[in-house]
Amino acid sequence: MTERISHWIEGRVVAGTSGRTAPVHNPATGVVTGEVDLASADEVAAAVATAVTAARTWRASSLSQRAAVLFAFRQLLHERSEDLARIVTAEHGKVHADALGEIARGLENVEFATGVPQLLKGGYSEQAASGVDVYDIRQPLGVVAGITPFNFPAMVPLWMCANAIATGNAFVLKPSEKDPSAALFLARLWQEAGLPDGVFTVVHGDKEAVDTLLTHPDVAAVSFVGSTPIARYIYETGTAHGKRVQALGGAKNHALVLPDADLDVAADAIVSAAYGAAGERCMALSVAVAVGDIADPLVEAIALRLPKLVVGDGAAEGTDMGPLITREHRDKVASYVDAGEQQGASVVVDGRRADVPSEGFFLGTTLLDHVTPEMTVYRDEIFGPVLGVVRVDSYDEGLALINANQYANGTAIFTRDGGAARRFQFDVEVGMVGINVPIPVPVAYYSFGGWKDSLFGDTHMYGPEGIDFYTRGKVVTSRWPDPATSSVDLGFPRTR
């Protein structure tokens, strides 16, 4: 029998009433394990209404009260990370260790948010004018929404909700309908941690739910992570309805490998970053840019490592790479390999013909050499276990290639030359840069986000920019005059 997965509203599970559901699969077996309710516009509006009420009360809570809830939530999440990781693996397919890593990185964001009393300290200027003091404060927006992707069903919601809740907002989460159960697990932890009912809400759904959140007058801000076309739509629709929006889009992350790079270090890092989570990461390295004579040995070193990777059920011990999220996505990724071969790329390792389990949505690792910028395998975000190698003659040619790409999420350089690395971080037009670090996801006290078509909006995710996104500034000018000195003065206020 399949499990029914319903909404979380006002601190309890609420069954959907729209009559619409979507199947939830175990990608390792292809078996339907659940049916998730898809909310109607009316259901979303009702959930937002309860969040509005909760936001009024939560906003008035003290910073120490909020910090106490966050500390309790952090401890519960730490203690039950194994349980949450099993849920992530069962619905997404990533290996258990990778799921634990996702939760650990999400936990960092909760730990950052526990410092909200310090993070919300404003400035104060005494005697800005005679008898006048000026100070600034940051206040919550009210109800904010998060629309999150399938590839990180625990981490990305934690990127958003920790700061949003810490700063006094009520948070409405619309997780991916492909792996929705992690969101309900987080909801129960928030409740156990002492968060008042209604401050954290989960509504499952599809485009109807998304559009309702984007247009609802009581939703003040929307955070999104997903593909570039949808990110653009989220940004344009949300801002057209007066909302603050941060929408993170797709990526085509390059690793520039210089001739002086440590070959084994570079090959290990690129394999890890290209094929981890079956390539379903917005920070995956999908292009290796090999400079000069390192190209042949780099391709050989990567190819030698791929047969050693164990592809299978992410819940099984010893598995290195799990399945893709759906059968349709697996077939789409395979079609990119077909196109790359037809357009002239050399198929060094062919994931289409790999020895993988016949059940489930599996595809082996693919390595393509002699990829050129005109090919679809280079232009498009594939979001699967496919690595393309582009050969260039010089550092300058490689840099120009990276800077010309429409995406600018993350990049990395592999070199022993500190001067070259310093030059790269200065010249490259990408939002997150790794120097001998293949997946340069910032720690929680910095902020995450790319440039160009990888980001719509002015604010990056989590960290200090996350605090700013979920609050708005207010400046107070204060004077306590002696009533005996009060008089009418129509002149422009002066500070001297």
Between CA 138 and CA 470 the distance in angstroms is 9
Distances (CA, A) of 310 to 85, 313, 318, 331: 20, 10, 7, 20
Q: How far is residue 208's CA from residue 40's CA, in Å, rounded to a whole number?
A: 6
Closest of 473, 477, 476 to residue 139, by C-alpha? 473
Task: Give the pairing of strands 21-26 and 31-37.
Answer: antiparallel
- Residue 86's φ and ψ, nearest 5 degrees, are -65, -40
Distances, alpha carbon 17 to alpha carbons 302, 395, 424, in Å: 51, 58, 54
Q: What gap in Å lies between CA 4 and CA 248, rounded to an integer?
A: 30
Angle, alpha carbons 240-243-249 (nearest 5°): 80
Question: Helix H segments across 80-145?
Answer: 81-92, 96-113, 116-119
Q: Which amino acid is at 234?
A: I
Closest CA to 106 of 24, 173, 186: 186
Pair 216, 45: CB distance under 8 Å: yes
Known catalytic residues? Answer: 282
Whole-number Å distance between alpha carbons of 298 and 262: 10
Instruction: Please identify which residue in the block is written with the tokens 């393509």.
Output: 368
**Residues 55 and 140: beta-carbon distance below 8 Å:** yes
∠ CA 249-254-256, rounded to 5°: 155
What lies within 8 Å, CB to CB, of 305 at 6+ separation is 267, 268, 271
CA–CA distances in Å: residue 121 to residues 28, 115, 165, 297, 443: 48, 10, 17, 53, 22
Q: Which H/E stretch holds residue 185?
A: helix 181-192
- The radius of gyration of the chain from alpha carbons, rounded to an integer in Å, stands at 25
